[in-house]
Structure 1
Amino acid sequence: MFNPSLYNHSYHSIDLSKHSILVTGGAGFIGSNLVEYLLKYNAKHIRILDNLSNGYFENINEFLTLPNVEFIQGDIRDFKTCVEAVKGIEFVSHQAALGSVPRSISDPITTNEVNISGFLNMLTAVKENKQVKRFVYAASSSTYGDSKELPKVEGIEGKPLSPYAVTKLVNELYADVFSKVYGVHAIGLRYFNVFGPKQNPNNAYAAVIPLFCKNFIEGRSPTINGDGETSRDFTFVENVIQANIKAFEYNALMKHEVYNTACGDQISLNEMIKILRIISGKEINANFTDERQGDIKHSLASIELITKKLGYQPQVKFKEGLQLAYDYYLKNEKI
C-alpha cells in the first residue's frame, strides 16, 4: 500500500490523528502522494475530491479500503460540490488543476474553467466554512513568465508566456484579494517541475522525466525539444509533500503568502540523459527537435523564503529522486 522508499521521515509536529484534511485532486500525482503521507502518519480523516479526468483511480484504490479515507468523485467547477467537500474539514490542500503548458495552448477555455473558476469555487467555499484552519494551494513557477532573473525570487515576476501561466497567476491574485477582503489567509506553493512515483508517463501531456524514464526502460531514444541545454529546478515529490505539511502547520500566517517550492539546483536535459544512462546501464542518445512554444530556457528557484518561514529543507536531491522514479516505473505495470 505504501512505497517503502518514501516518507520515512516525518515533517509534521502536530498530531495528525486529531485532524481532518481535504485533498482536491487527490487521485492525481501530487495529491495521491500527499494522501499517502497523511495515511502513513495516521491522519484522523482524509477526504479526496477528484473528477478522475486528470487523476487515476489506481493511485488511491488501495487507500479506499481504510476507514479514515473518503472519496468524492466530483468537479471543482461545481460550487455545491466544493461546499460539501470542505464540510468538517480543518486543512485543505488544493491540488486539483489542469497542468501542462501545451494543453493550455490547445485548450485555453477548459484550462481557465478548471484552474480559475474551480480555484475561485474552492476559495469561496473555504471562506464560508469557519472550521477550515488553513488553505494551501498548488501555485506554479510558470508565474515567473518571461523574467530572466536567476534564481527566481518571490516578488520579481515577468509576464506569463502561456494560458496555463495566466491561470496560476490569477490564482495568486484571487488568494491575495481574499486575504485582504475576507481575512482568508492562504499559502501558495510555487512548484518547480515536480517529479516522482505516480506521475503518469502515458498521459498525452506527460512531463519530461516520466517520458524519458519510459523511453530508457523500453530502449528507445527520448526526444528533446531544443538543444538539450534547457534547464530546470527539478523537484522530487517528497520535497513538495514536506512543503505542504509545513504550510499546514505555519501558525504565524497573517496574510496571503507564496513560496517557491524546489531544490535550488539546476539540471539540464542533456545532464539528465547522462544520469539516466548510468541508472539504466543503457547507452541511449536523444533525438532533438524544435523548442516548445510557451517554454522558458532556464529556471532555478531561490528557496530562501520558504526555508526561513516554513523551515523547509529539501531531503531528496535530483539524482536520488531520479533513481527512485526510474525504479518505480521499472516495477510499474503501466510501463
Structure 2
Amino acid sequence: MSDLKNKKVLITGGLGFIGSNIALRCLEEGAEVTVYDCLDPRSGGNMYNLHGIEESVRIVVNDIRSMEGISSCIRGQDILFNCAAYTSHPNSMREPLIDIDVNCKGTINILESARRFNPEIKFIHVGTSTQTGKMCCSPVDEKHPEFPLDIYSANKTASEKYVLIYGSAYKMRTTVVRLANVFGPRSNIKTPDFGFMNYFIGLALQGKPLTVYGEGSQLRNITYVRDCVEALVAAALNPAAEREVFFAVGDTQYSVAEIAAGIAENVGGQVQFVEWPRERFTIDIGDAVISNEKIKRSLGWSPRVSMTEGLVKTREYFTPVLKKYL
C-alpha cells in the first residue's frame, strides 16, 4: 500500500468537520492539499477548522453545483475525498429541493468532472449509515436493504449509487465509506441539525442540559473522527477498496442515554429526558447496530479511540476556542 507523501489531494467540503480533519491528516503525511467548500452555514463549513494550516493548503471557495468550478480543481489530482453535502436530516425535510440539488446534482457534477478531466483519480465518497433506514436484521452490513426515512438519507443513497455506477460503467476507481455518529474536534456543535452527539458536546461545554428524547434507549455505533479519517485514507491507498462499499464505525454500540451520560461525565452538563418531538420521531431509525467486519477484513482498519478518550480529546480541543464554534 502506498502513502500520501507528495500526493495531490482534493477535498470537497474541506472546511467542514470530516473534510478539515482529512486535510490535517494529509498535510501530516506530506500531501499537497486543495480544499473546496462553499461555506454554506447550512452545511457546517467553518474557516477556523483550518486554523494554523491555512497557509499550507489551497482553499477554493466555490460550490459543487458549479461544474466549471469543480472541473477547474479536479485536473491533476491523485485523490478526491468527497465530503461535500447538505448534511442535515431535519433541514432536508424542510428544504428537499436544496437537498436534492446539492447531494444529487452536486455529486453528479463531481463525477462528471472526474470522468471528463481526470478518470484515473481515486474517488472516495462519504456515505451515511442512515441510508439503510430501520434495521431489518442485526447487525446491519453492506448488503442490508436500504429504506431511508428522510430526504437527506434518500439522496445520500442515490448519490452513493451514482458513485458506484461511474465506477462500474467507466472503470473509475471509486469507493464509498459509510460513517455513523462521528464526533470530535472541528465538528459543528451549535445546532442539532448535524447530529445529536456533537450538539450535546456543545451544550456540555456551555454547562447546559443535554435533552434526550424518550428513554434514549435506541442503540448507536459511534466513531471518533480520527478513526474515520484513517478509514477514508485506507480506502484511498488500498486497491482492494476500489468499487466497494464499507461501513467504518466503532466496535461498540451505546444507547443514546449512555452517550449523553458519557458526555455529561467527561465534558459537562446534565442529562434530562423529554417526550419526542413529532418531526424527529417520524424520521428516527430506532436501533442501529452496524458491523464493521468488511472494512476490517479488506483494508485492515479498526477503530482505536474509545468513547471516553475521544470525549476528553474533543473537550481539550474545543475549550480554548469555543467562541469560534458557537
Aligned mates of 1:249, 1:155 — CA distance in 2 = 24
Q: CA shift at 1:65, angstroms?
A: 1.4
Aligned mates of 1:23, 1:214 — CA distance in 2 = 26
Aligned mates of 2:275, 2:227 — CA distance in 1 = 31
Q: Provide Cα deviations, 1:77-126, integer angstroms capped at 9, x if missing partner.
A: 01111111101101000000011211111111101100000001111111
Aligned mates of 1:280, 1:170 — CA distance in 2 = 37
- SS state at 2:18 partner: helix
* 8 Å Cα contact 2:221-2:253 kept in structure 1: yes
* 8 Å Cα contact 1:26-1:96 kept in structure 2: yes
Provide closer, same or farther for how the CA distance between residues 223 and 83 of structure 1 changes in structure 2, counting only shifts above 3 A.
same
* 8 Å Cα contact 1:89-1:132 kept in structure 2: no
- SS state at 1:245 partner: helix
Q: Higher mean Cα deviation, 141-150 or 18-27? A: 141-150
* 8 Å Cα contact 2:121-2:173 kept in structure 1: no
Q: Provide Cα deviations, 1:116-152, integer angstroms capped at 9, x if missing partner.
A: 0000111111112346431001111011113332211
Residue 261 of structure 2 corresponds to residue 277 of structure 1: no
Q: Provide Cα deviations, 1:158-215, integer angstroms capped at 9, x if missing partner.
A: 3110101111110122122212221113110111111110002124624222222232
Q: Which residue of 2 aligns with 1:93?
A: 81
Q: Which residue of 2 aligns with 1:236?
A: 224
Unaligned runs of 5+ in 1: 1-12
* 8 Å Cα contact 1:90-1:131 kept in structure 2: no
* 8 Å Cα contact 2:62-2:69 kept in structure 1: yes
Aligned mates of 2:215, 2:60 — CA distance in 1 = 44
Q: Which residue of 2 aligns with 1:302?
A: 291
Residue 219 of structure 2 corresponds to residue 219 of structure 1: no
**Which structure dedicates a bigger proportion of its chain to helix?**
2
- SS state at 1:16 partner: coil
Q: Higher mean Cα deviation, 177-186 or 26-35? A: 177-186
Provide closer, same or farther for how the CA distance between residues 94 and 176 of structure 1 changes in structure 2, counting only shifts above 3 A.
same
Residue 276 of structure 2 corresponds to residue 290 of structure 1: yes
- SS state at 1:332 partner: helix
> Superposition RMSD on alpha carbons, in Å?
1.8
Q: Which residue of 2 aligns with 1:3?
A: none
Q: Which residue of 1 aligns with 2:247?
A: 260
* 8 Å Cα contact 1:76-1:122 kept in structure 2: yes
The amino acid across from 2:272 in the alignment is A
Q: CA shift at 1:71, angstroms?
A: 1.0
Q: CA shift at 1:225, angstroms?
A: 2.2
Q: Provide Cα deviations, 1:210-230, integer angstroms capped at 9, x if missing partner.
A: 222232233221111222112
* 8 Å Cα contact 2:125-2:160 kept in structure 1: no
Q: 1:107 aligns with which of 81, 95, 100?
A: 95
Provide closer, same or farther for how the CA distance between residues 83 and 280 of structure 1 changes in structure 2, counting only shifts above 3 A.
closer
Provide closer, same or farther for how the CA distance between residues 63 and 159 of structure 1 changes in structure 2, counting only shifts above 3 A.
same
Residue 56 of structure 2 corresponds to residue 33 of structure 1: no
User: What TM-score do the two structures reach when normalised by structure 2?
Assistant: 0.92
Aligned mates of 1:36, 1:273 — CA distance in 2 = 28
Once the two structures are superposed, the pairs formed by residues 188-203 of structure 1 within 5 Å of their partners are 188-203=176-191
* 8 Å Cα contact 2:219-2:255 kept in structure 1: yes
Provide closer, same or farther for how the CA distance between residues 150 and 319 of structure 1 changes in structure 2, counting only shifts above 3 A.
farther
* 8 Å Cα contact 1:111-1:163 kept in structure 2: yes
Provide closer, same or farther for how the CA distance between residues 17 and 176 of structure 1 changes in structure 2, counting only shifts above 3 A.
closer
- SS state at 1:30 partner: helix
* 8 Å Cα contact 1:175-1:185 kept in structure 2: no
Q: Which residue of 2 aligns with 1:316?
A: 305
Q: CA shift at 1:15, angstroms?
A: 4.1
* 8 Å Cα contact 1:88-1:131 kept in structure 2: no
Aligned mates of 2:145, 2:52 — CA distance in 1 = 41
